[in-house]
Amino acid sequence: MTAVPATPHKIVFLDRDSLIATVRAPAFVHEWAEYPHTKGSAQTVERLQDASIAISNKVPLRAAELAQLPQLKMIAVAATGTDIIDLAACRERGIIVANIRDYARATVPEHTLALMLALRRQLIAYRADVEAGLWQASERFCLFGHPIRDLAGSRLGLLGYGALGKAVAQLARAFGMQVAVHNRSPINETDVLEVSKEELLATSDILSLHLPLTDKTRNIIGALELASMKPTALLINTARGGLVDEAALAHALHTGVIAGAGFDVLSQEPPPPDNVLLKLRLPNFILTPHTAWASGEAMQKLAEQLIDNVEAFERGAPTNLVG
Beta pairing class for 206-209 and 234-237: parallel
In the chain, % of residues over pLDDT 70: 98
Count of CB atoms within 10 A of residue 186's CB?
7
Count of CB atoms within 10 A of residue 77's CB?
25
Q: Which of 109, 143, 136, 120 is nearest to 283 (CA)?
A: 120
pLDDT tens digits, one per residue of 142-153 = 999 999 999 999
- Which residues 6+ apart lie within 8 Å of 33 measured at CB? 10, 11, 12, 13, 47, 51
Residue of 210, 225, 290, 314 with catalytic role? 290
Kindly tell me if the per-residue pLDDT of 317 is higher than 80: yes
Answer yes or no: are the C-beta atoms of 102 and 317 closer than 8 Å.
Answer: no
Kindly tell me if the per-residue pLDDT of 1 is higher than 50: no
Banded pLDDT at 85 (limits 50, 70, 90): very high
> Which amino acid is present at 276?
V
Mean pLDDT of all residues belonging to the chain: 95
pLDDT tens digits, one per residue of 278-300 = 999 999 999 999 999 999 999 99
Residue of 46, 92, 198, 269 with catalytic role? 269
Domains observed in the chain: 9-103+297-315 (3.40.50.720), 107-287 (3.40.50.720)
Our answer to whether residue 92 is catalytic in this structure is no
Our answer to whether residue 290 is catalytic in this structure is yes
* 66 backbone dihedrals φ, ψ, rounded to 5°: -60, -35
pLDDT tens digits, one per residue of 31-62 = 999 999 999 999 999 999 999 999 999 999 99
Q: How far is 249 from 253, CA to CA, in rounded Å?
A: 6
Average pLDDT over residues 132-138: 96
pTM equals 0.88
- Which residues 6+ apart lie within 8 Å of 112 measured at CB? 168, 171, 208, 236, 238, 292
Beta pairing class for 193-194 and 178-182: parallel
Residue of 120, 240, 246, 314 with catalytic role? 240
Our answer to whether residue 24 is catalytic in this structure is no
The separation between the first and the last C-alpha atoms of the chain, rounded to the nearest angstrom, is 18
